[in-house]
Amino acid sequence: MKARTEEDQDVVAVILKDHRTMEDLFRRMRSVEADRAAALEEFAALLIAHGEAEEAEVYGALKRFRGVDDEEVEHGTEEHAQGNEALLKLLEVEDVGSDTWDTRLEELVEAVGHHVDEEERTILNGARESVPDERRAELGRAFQEERARQLSSDCGSLENVRRIVHG
């Protein structure tokens, strides 16, 4: 097992890695040759765990730094809710080969893609420039711990996504 580097722990690097994984899962969900249901299951767990961990461990901490736009952080939370709603609508479609699946998948891609793009340009760039390396590493560890806790609790299940969306 290779030792973790500071880079692995940096909250910005960890979040970016999740974003790239989400993009790969979108490609699998769009492919008729792929196991779309399995890709959705993996995506649902990752999206929920990622968003919950960002909100619990990262967003609040970043608001304390000059150079990180508080309004963008608040907006990021709103966009998580929109992504979760789009995820729920897709999870509720039973036939992964249907037109409804394709339509709702594109709505999910749009919601999450928009958020990822905005978060990378505003919040993460602000964090990279304004938050000391040591603090980014601490946030990275806290993010990964909360993300792992979420993943181990079946966070992407239809019931849990419903609970998150409907409160």
Mean pLDDT of 37-57: 97
**pLDDT score of 67:** 81
Q: What's the pLDDT band for 110 if we cut at 50, 70, 90?
A: very high
Q: Please answer whether residues 127 and 136 qualify as being in contact, where contact means their C-beta atoms are separated by less than 8 angstroms.
A: yes
pTM for the model stands at 0.93
Q: Print the domain residue range for 65.
A: 6-166
In a domain, 127, yes or no: yes
* Number of separate domains in the chain: 1
Residue 69 pLDDT level (bands cut at 50, 70, 90): confident
Asked whether residue 4 carries a pLDDT value surpassing 80, the answer given is no
Judge whether residue 92 has pLDDT over 80: yes
In a domain? residue 118: yes
Contacts of 6 (CB under 8 A, 6+ apart): 133, 137
In angstroms, what is the C-alpha Rg of the chain? 16
Q: How confident is the model at residue 6 (pLDDT cuts 50, 70, 90)?
A: very low
Res 5: pLDDT: 54
Kindly state whether residue 48 falls inside one of the protein's structural domains: yes
Task: Let me know if residue 139 belongs to a domain.
Answer: yes
| 1 in a structural domain | no
* 115 belongs to a structural domain: yes
**Exposed e or buried b per residue across 107-140, where buried means at least 16 C-beta atoms within 10 angstroms of its C-beta:** bbbebbbebbeebeebbbebbbeebeeebbbbbb
- pLDDT tens, position by position, 124-160: 999 999 999 999 999 999 999 999 999 999 999 999 9
